[in-house]
Amino acid sequence: MSIPDFELERALLARGYLRIAGVDEVGRGPLAGPVVAAAVVLNPDDIPDGLNDSKKLTAKRRVGLDTELRDRAQVAIAEASVAEIDEHNILRASHLAMVRAVSVLDPAPDFLLIDGNLLPRGMKLPSEAVVKGDARSVSIAAASIIAKNWRDQLMVDLAQQHPGYGWEANAGYPTKQHRDALQNLGVTPHHRRSFKPVHNILYQE
């Protein structure tokens, strides 16, 4: 199992880039809620221990690392809304959230390491797409942790407004409880109407 390291960043530092941001998104697969992206610039001399792909960490560990990162790194978060997901598509909306997160960083980074195999349209800074980046780069792993914690808490808050769908536990992903609730309770304003399970309920005969 690969553990992310600082090698990609170290190579960029050697080329003269001083502020390298890792960028990742969370929430492509859920049926409800926005997609969230984070951008994180680590301090090369003060990197928290234990950074890893957010999916490989316990919730308790993610929360602890989230706090450490906010204290010791530069962090930015942005979203693309359900309406934007339905208007564009989930990939384009994910990229919109990434561009927004990077734009919030001040001072701006001078190079981006972006999780995935595509660079977002509209990203003006020098960038590299890194496949499985959250398992290779600690900067991208840090961004995945920040984005996931933010989105998970957002879905917990939305679950209080719309009980029964299990968002506090499933974060909007299509678990059996969520799919059953869609059938029994209906579609909320936070559901992605372009996603097939939601679309089918709205337009079933």
Annotated binding site for a divalent metal cation: 24-25, 115
**DSSP-based helix, strand, coil % in the chain, nearest 5:** 45, 15, 40
**Binding site: residue ranges?**
24-25, 115
Cα-Cα end-to-end distance for the chain: 47
- Is residue 123 within 8 A of residue 94, CB to CB? The reply is no
Interatomic CA distance for residues 80 and 109, integer angstroms:
21
Instruction: Please give the structure tokens belonging to residue 87.
Output: 């208007």
Task: For residue 37, give the H/E element and its range.
Answer: strand 35-41
Burial class (CB in 10 A: 0-12, 13-18, 19+), 107: exposed
